[in-house]
Structure 1
Amino acid sequence: MSTENPVLLEGRGLTKSYGKLQVLKGIDITIGEAEVVSIVGASGAGKSTLLHLLGTLDVPDEGDVYLHGQRISSMSNKEMARFRNQNIGFIFQFHNLLPEFTALENVSLPGFLANRPEKEVEARAKELLEMLGLSHRLDHKPSEMSGGEQQRTAVARALINSPKLIFADEPSGNLDSKNADELHQIFFKLRQDLGQTFVLVTHNPALADMADRKLTMKDGYLLHPSEVAE
């Protein structure tokens, strides 16, 4: 990470087990503001588990997570849900859009959950959808949109509350190469235009190599750069 980037997110000594299987074995990680970081590694290395801990979707067995110096891993479930809604956005491989809702409604939902004024939320949702080339899809449901359009809708939804940080778990894994390339370019444009920070778990080598930093996981550990085979 460049020393010019103030620290936004930090994980210290993170461990996580499911039953007798220890998935994370002591992870230390720091993410800077306006940084794009990719996390790569074989299936089962612990990438998604780490993402879930950093994004407050799960809690570590040991260790702590800090966002802007605030310890968030010790919050109650209610406090964490509120904090997550206000500070963190998520993009998944399978976009997780609600099928009965239009693009505009899907994007607006996190804003409504944050109790923001309806007109303000809808105006921002329309602005984001237009920015992502979806102004003609406002009233379309997911089944009426292409895979690329659905994923861009998910990106808009992740941005609706102006989160400090966006986590993306295999965001282009379900897209063809053209749509994947377009999605990757969107991430870097958002970083450029909005100063958005991204942490991306991906098997896509092109996306991984575009990031400011590429971190490699193996058997529940983050490898030191000297341990990564060229």
Structure 2
Amino acid sequence: MIVAKNIHKKFDQLHVLKGVNLEVKKGEIVAIVGASGAGKTTLLQILGTLEKPSKEFSSSLVIDGNSVLALNDKELSTFRNQKLGFIFQFHQLLPEFTALENVCIPAFIAGKEKKEAEEEAMKLLNYLGLSHRSNHKPGELSGGEQQRVAVARALINQPAVIFADEPSGNLDTQSAENLHELFFKLRDEFGQTFVIVTHNQTLANMADRKLVMKDGLFATSEL
């Protein structure tokens, strides 16, 4: 599903990623852990096409059979919308829109009709136990509910991969456990692929693989 080779990233003289290689299979849940500043989020942003690797190195990145570094900005935006889902620590929900409207946004960007998008969004909210909260705005939802809305939004376009950056970092213990169980349920029922950056060792240890980043490279990997 993902094949990344020789990924480098420099910010001026700071060499954050130093030739990272990574392969992720379809339906696999991979957790990336490490100290702050090790390069975890930078790598996730590159894998998610939100950042590009430094040009002076011959990097390659193939996702779901697509060589994404060869795409222009318009093609990349379309690819990102249709193939990738994102879950962030602070949800990134739009406060003026309801849960249903927030979930629908990626579908609208993809050009789906309003009725079709809303029907699919309601199916996801129902699956996640939130159908009764569909007309509530983020400020009226608990942290766990907001994060499940974010999960529904990430799933709406049936992405090939979901990238999650500290997805449970802003949740209480019970909500975090529920979210972690949800990821594995989605993998088991839908074959969903996840790449997760986390400081939560419980989540990391549940993953199919735990990769440890240190000084811009993977130090060890644990099955």
Match of 2:153 among 138, 154, 157: 157
Correspondence 1:181 to 2:205: no
Match of 1:21 in 2: 14
- 2: CA distance, partners of 1:212 / 1:171: 17
1:28-59 CA distance string (max 9 Å, x none)? 00000000000000000000000000010011
Counterpart in the other structure of 1:118: 114
Aligned length: 219
- Percent of matched pairs sharing the same residue: 57
Normalising by structure 2, we get a TM-score of 0.96
Q: Distance in 1 between matches of 2:194 and 2:115?
A: 28
1:219 alignment counterpart: 215
Q: What CA distance in whole angstroms lies between the structure 1 residues aligned with 2:19 and 2:136?
A: 45
Report the Cα offset of residue 118 of structure 1: 1.5
**Residue among 5, 17, 21 paired with 1:12:** 5
Contact 2:32 2:213 in 1 (8 A): yes
Could you say what the CA RMSD is over the residues aligned between the two structures, in angstroms? 0.9
Q: Please state whether the residue corresponding to 1:38 is helix, strand or coil.
A: strand
Which structure 1 segments of 5+ residues have no match? 1-7
Return the offset for 1:70.
Answer: 1.8
Per mean C-alpha deviation after superposition, the further-off stretch among 116-125 and 207-216 is 116-125
Moved over 3 A (4+): none
The corresponding residue for 2:37 is 44
- What is the CA-CA distance between 1:125 and the residue it aligns to? 0.2
Structure 2 equivalent of residue 3 of structure 1: none
Q: Report the equivalent of 1:172.
A: 168
Q: 3-state SS of the aligned residue for 1:50?
A: helix
Shift of 1:173: 0.1
2:190 maps to 1:194:
yes
* Deviation of the 1:78 alpha carbon: 1.0
Q: Deviations over 1:48-90 (max 9, x none)?
A: 0000000100111131110133210121111101000000000
Q: Deviation per CA, 1:150-175: give whole Å up to 9, x if none.
A: 00000000000000100000000000
Helix, strand or coil for the counterpart of 1:223? strand
**Residue correspondence of structure 1 range 44-83 to structure 2 within 5 A:** 44-61=37-54, 62=57, 63-83=59-79
Q: Which amino acid aligns with 2:102?
A: N
Partner deviation per Cα, 1:112-136 (whole Å, 9 max, x = no partner): 0000122111101000001111011
Please give the secondary structure, in 2, of the residue aligned with 1:139: coil
Matching of residue 93 in structure 1 with residue 86 in structure 2: no
* SS across alignment from 1:73: helix
Q: Is the 8 A contact 2:163 2:194 kept in 1?
A: yes
Q: Distance in 2 between matches of 1:69 and 1:197?
A: 14
TM-score normalised according to structure 1 size: 0.94
Tell me, in whole angstroms, the C-alpha distance in 1 between the residues paired with 2:131 and 2:66.
37
Match of 2:128? 132
Whether the aligned pair in 1 keeps the contact of 2:64 and 2:160 (CA below 8 Å) is: no
Whole-Å Cα distance in 1 between the matches of residues 105 and 66 of structure 2? Answer: 26
**What amino acid does structure 2 have at the position aligned with 1:124?**
E
